[in-house]
């Protein structure tokens, strides 16, 4: 879903249990095919190593090939949620395991250092179900839907509760880890100052479902109805953007390159949301 510089990366890299893999390639050309191949899209992210787009879904993690095809990584049908790219080939996520694996139903925080070929547990396995993760500098933020808790961690292992209550998405300021935005299932925008952990509702914000902090003071938001908005003042005011077809599922916005998954496709914009290309068309 999001890419940030992760200051604790070196502490997270370790020997990974390798899993044998087979390559599976599939083609999706419309919403029906997309539903069959991916199920629900939970996250998007571009690997800075080679620019490959990764799509994390109910049916596994897929990478987009040069010819537009989606290839399931490692033949793994892991329900991969809160997918976040934190460096070259380095991803974090959560979700639920491939049913062929002997793992608890809640994966907690997991990490891949080989572009989703293999995953290992970092913390909270069997106890947390992160539906949103984001990274800023040396902090990882996560919303654990199983316990209704907004959490933070410095090392991916020991977590601190920031707040409690239902959230839909979170976005951390990539240049200031003390600033965090969150949306609620009702579309309310919340602004956190961490620490000390203060929270305020952002008056006048449109009803937002998905959100991502691009850079500086630029933030992108999408309503549950698929309306797009851009803020250039850290979420205090918003301007509407052209709407993308379909109900929104996942958003990833980095400087000069935005991706949005909806029920009608996976879209790319290179001009801050003014025009969009359906990558699955």
pLDDT in tens, 164-192: 999 999 999 999 999 999 999 999 999 99
Q: Give the model's pLDDT for residue 196.
A: 76
Mean pLDDT of 20-26: 32
Q: Are 69 and 83 in contact (CB under 8 A)?
A: no
Task: Identify the band that residue 35 occupies on the pLDDT scale cut at 50, 70 and 90.
Answer: low
Q: Quickly tell me which residue has 């205090």 as its tokens.
A: 236
Residue 6's contacts (CB-CB under 8 Å, 6 or more residues apart) are: 12, 86, 87, 90, 135, 138, 140
Residue 32's contacts (CB-CB under 8 Å, 6 or more residues apart) are: none
pLDDT per position as a tens digit, 126-143: 999 999 999 998 899 999
**Cβ count within 10 A of residue 99:** 11
Q: How far apart are CA 171 and CA 189, in angstroms?
A: 11
pLDDT per position as a tens digit, 92-134: 999 999 999 999 999 999 999 999 999 999 999 999 999 999 9
Q: How far apart are CA 228 and CA 214, in angstroms?
A: 14
| pTM, to two decimals | 0.89
Q: List the strands of the sheet with 228-231, edge to edge.
A: 210-215, 218-222, 228-231, 239-241
Q: Which residue has the higher pLDDT, 149 or 281?
A: 149
| % of the chain surpassing 90 pLDDT | 83
All structural domains of the chain, each given as residue ranges with its CATH number in brackets, are: 9-278 (2.130.10.10)
Q: Quickly tell me which residue has 């549950």 as its tokens.
A: 224
Mean pLDDT of 183-204: 93
Specify the DSSP element, H or E, that contains 31.
helix 31-38
Residue 107's contacts (CB-CB under 8 Å, 6 or more residues apart) are: 78, 93, 94, 95, 96, 97, 121, 125, 129
Residue 157's contacts (CB-CB under 8 Å, 6 or more residues apart) are: 122, 123
Task: Identify the band that residue 23 occupies on the pLDDT scale cut at 50, 70 and 90.
Answer: very low
Mean pLDDT of 194-222: 95
Q: Give the model's pLDDT for residue 149.
A: 98
Q: Are 255 and 270 in contact (CB under 8 A)?
A: no
Q: How far apart are CA 250 and CA 44, in angstroms?
A: 6
């Amino acid at each position: 879903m999001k890419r940030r510089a992760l200051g604790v990366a070196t502490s997270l890299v370790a020997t990974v249990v390798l899993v044998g893999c087979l390559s599976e390639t599939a083609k999706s050309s419309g919403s029906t095919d997309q539903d069959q191949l991916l199920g629900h899209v939970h996250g998007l992210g571009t690997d800075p190593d080679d620019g490959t787009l990764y799509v994390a879904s109910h049916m596994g993690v897929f990478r987009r090939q040069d010819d537009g095809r989606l290839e399931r990584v490692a033949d793994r049908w892991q329900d991969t949620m809160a997918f976040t790219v934190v460096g070259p080939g380095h991803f974090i996520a959560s979700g639920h395991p491939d049913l062929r694996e002997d793992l608890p139903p809640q994966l907690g925080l997991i990490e891949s250092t080989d572009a989703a070929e293999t995953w290992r547990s970092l913390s909270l396995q069997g106890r947390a179900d992160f539906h949103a993760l984001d990274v800023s500098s040396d902090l990882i933020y996560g919303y654990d839907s199983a316990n209704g808790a907004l959490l933070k961690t410095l090392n991916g292992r020991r977590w601190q509760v920031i707040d409690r209550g239902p959230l839909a998405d979170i976005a951390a300021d990539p240049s200031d880890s003390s600033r965090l935005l969150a949306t609620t299932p009702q579309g309310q925008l919340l602004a956190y100052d961490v620490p000390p952990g203060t929270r305020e509702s952002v008056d006048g914000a449109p009803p937002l479902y998905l959100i991502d902090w691009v850079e500086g003071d630029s933030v992108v938001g999408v309503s549950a109805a698929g309306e797009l908005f851009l803020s250039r003042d850290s979420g205090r005011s918003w301007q509407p953007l052209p709407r993308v077809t379909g109900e929104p599922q996942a958003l990833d916005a980095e400087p000069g390159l935005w991706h949005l998954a909806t029920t009608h496709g996976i879209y790319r914009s290179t001009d801050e949301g003014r025009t969009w290309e359906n990558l699955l068309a």
